């Protein structure tokens, strides 16, 4: 399959690009900064959604079977005890505006631009990387990030219903805390040991995405929740 990964330069995105290419898929990555080893990838800044949509669409043409939306930035000091939603100042406001633009507005505009080409394929798929922060009762206080992940889930639901007759398979992966320090070059059990049960190796997410791409045209996974085994919220 021809897979476009939006948000592919590092962490989970990089692992998906490597893992899916190793599985025989044709992969094009999209990132703000392109790795020197991937000159055929597409450079796009999702903080400028309309421009990014045009750059991505021009770069891939009609050659796309699956879009993986792997985008998610968060507030300063998010996921730490120092996080404070009421922090004042123009810098904080600008940070929130950029977060919502990148995580939500860009998803709507870019997917809208790419959807016609995707729907011309026999097995069109959209896989969206969500977060357990986007689930009801997530137990997290990060307001802007949590709101954006709730929104991305709504986008997935609407796409699914709007294009069910076109057999568009839309999957949302609600992921818990990830170990993004260890790539696929690190043995899986070693990566799983980091965090002592509180972090998910990217290896697990790559295996799930490979499985999603191997499903028949008659099936899809709607929502998938993947927390770490010792995540007390679940």
**Among 53, 57, 66, 43, which residue's Cα sits nearest to residue 105?**
53
CB atoms within 10 A of CB 148: 27
H helix intervals, 105-201: 106-119, 143-162, 188-193
Lowest mean pLDDT, pick from 23-27, 30-34, 89-93, 149-153:
89-93
Polymer length in residues for the chain: 234
Give the per-residue pLDDT at 29. Answer: 97
Out of 3.90.76.10, 3.10.20.740, 3.40.50.720, 3.30.420.40, select the CATH number for domain 2-226. Answer: 3.40.50.720
pLDDT category, 86, cuts 50, 70, 90? confident
DSSP tag of 82: T
pLDDT category, 209, cuts 50, 70, 90? very high
pLDDT category, 134, cuts 50, 70, 90? confident
Per-residue CA distances from 13 to 19, 80, 89, 96, 163 (Å): 10, 23, 32, 23, 26
């Amino acid at each position: 399959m021809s897979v476009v990964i939006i948000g592919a330069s590092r962490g989970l995105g990089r692992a998906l690009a490597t893992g899916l290419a190793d599985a025989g898929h044709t992969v094009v990555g999209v990132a703000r900064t392109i790795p020197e080893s991937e000159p055929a990838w597409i450079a796009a800044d999702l903080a400028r959604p309309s421009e990014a949509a045009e750059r991505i669409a021009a770069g891939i043409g009609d050659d796309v079977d699956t879009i993986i939306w792997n985008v998610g930035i968060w507030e300063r000091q998010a996921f730490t005890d120092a996080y404070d939603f009421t922090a004042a100042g123009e810098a904080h406001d600008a940070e929130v505006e950029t977060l919502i633009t990148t995580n939500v507005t860009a998803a709507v505009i870019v997917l809208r631009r790419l959807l016609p080409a995707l729907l011309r394929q026999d097995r069109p798929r959209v896989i969206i990387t969500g977060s357990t922060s986007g689930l009801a009762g997530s137990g997290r206080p990060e307001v802007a990030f949590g709101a954006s992940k709730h929104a991305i889930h709504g986008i997935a639901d609407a796409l699914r219903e709007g294009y069910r007759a076109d057999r568009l398979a839309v999957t949302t992966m609600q992921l818990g805390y990830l170990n993004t320090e260890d790539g696929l070059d690190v043995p899986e059990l070693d990566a799983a040991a980091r965090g002592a049960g509180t972090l998910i190796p990217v290896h697990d997410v790559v295996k799930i995405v490979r499985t999603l791409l191997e499903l028949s045209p008659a099936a899809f996974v709607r929502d998938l929740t993947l927390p770490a085994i010792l995540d007390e919220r679940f």
